[in-house]
Amino acid sequence: GAVVSQHPSWVICKSGTSVKIECRSLDFQATTMFWYRQFPKQSLMLMATSNEGSKATYEQGVEKDKFLINHASLTLSTLTVTSAHPEDSSFYICSARSFRDNSYNEQFFGPGTRLTVL
Partner 1 sequence: ELKVEQNPLFLSMQEGKNYTIYCNYSTTSDRLYWYRQDPGKSLESLFVLLSNGAVKQEGRLMASLDTKARLSTLHITAAVHDLSATYFCAVGSNYQLIWGAGTKLIIKP
How far apart CA 77 and CA 4 sit, in angstroms, is: 11
Instruction: Report the DSSP pairing between strands 76-81 and 90-98.
Output: unpaired
Which amino acid, one-letter code, is at 52?
A: E
Site string for partner 1, 15-54 (x = CB under 8 A): -----------------x-x------xxxx-x--x-----
| CB count in 10 Å sphere of residue 8 | 13
For the purposes of burial, counting CB atoms within 10 Å of the CB of 47, is it exposed (0-12), middle (13-18) or buried (19 or more)?
buried
Q: How far apart are CA 36 and CA 41, in angstroms?
A: 14
Q: Minimum distance between the CB of residue 83 and partner 1, rounded to whole angstroms?
A: 26
How far apart are alpha carbons 90 and 68 in whole angstroms? Answer: 16
- Kindly state whether residue 108 participates in binding partner 1, applying the rule CB under 8 A: yes
Part in contact with partner 1 (CB under 8 A); list of ranges 21-29, 65-73, 78-86, 110-118: 110-118
Tell me which residues in 46-105 interact with partner 1 (CB under 8 A).
Answer: 46, 49, 91, 93, 97, 104-105
- Which CB sits closer to partner 1, 53 or 111? 111
Residue 94 CB, nearest approach to partner 1 (Å): 9
- Judged by the rule CB under 8 A, the positions of this chain that interact with partner 1 are 32, 34, 41-44, 46, 49, 91, 93, 97, 104-112, 114
